[in-house]
Amino acid sequence: MVSRTDIRIYGEVGSPLTGEEVVLETSEAGQIELESANPGVVLIFGSSAYRVDEPSGKRLFFLDPDLNTVVSR
């Protein structure tokens, strides 16, 4: 089962791309794939920020159930 959640990016962490919409796809395994048309976008979860630098504009994240947050692997 894969669910799609639209989120909006807020704040600036080394990037002027604020308020950009991205799509997160989560699976039962807790994997999250960030898709953005703009590589270099910064995704912010609470106090953690991640930059998508891959040319494809995609980066894989994993949910940390103990911290209830997202960590990059």
Alpha carbon separation from 45 to 1, 2, 54 (Å, rounded): 23, 20, 19
Domain ranges (residues) in the chain: 2-72
Residue, of 70 and 38, whose pLDDT is higher = 38
Can you count the helices (H) and strands (E) in the chain?
Answer: 0, 7
Give the number of other Cβ atoms within 10 Å of residue 3's Cβ: 9
pTM: 0.26
Model confidence pLDDT, tens digit, residues 1-56: 444 444 443 333 333 333 344 445 544 444 445 555 555 555 555 455 555 554 44
Q: Which two three-digit tokens encode residue 23?
A: 């799509």
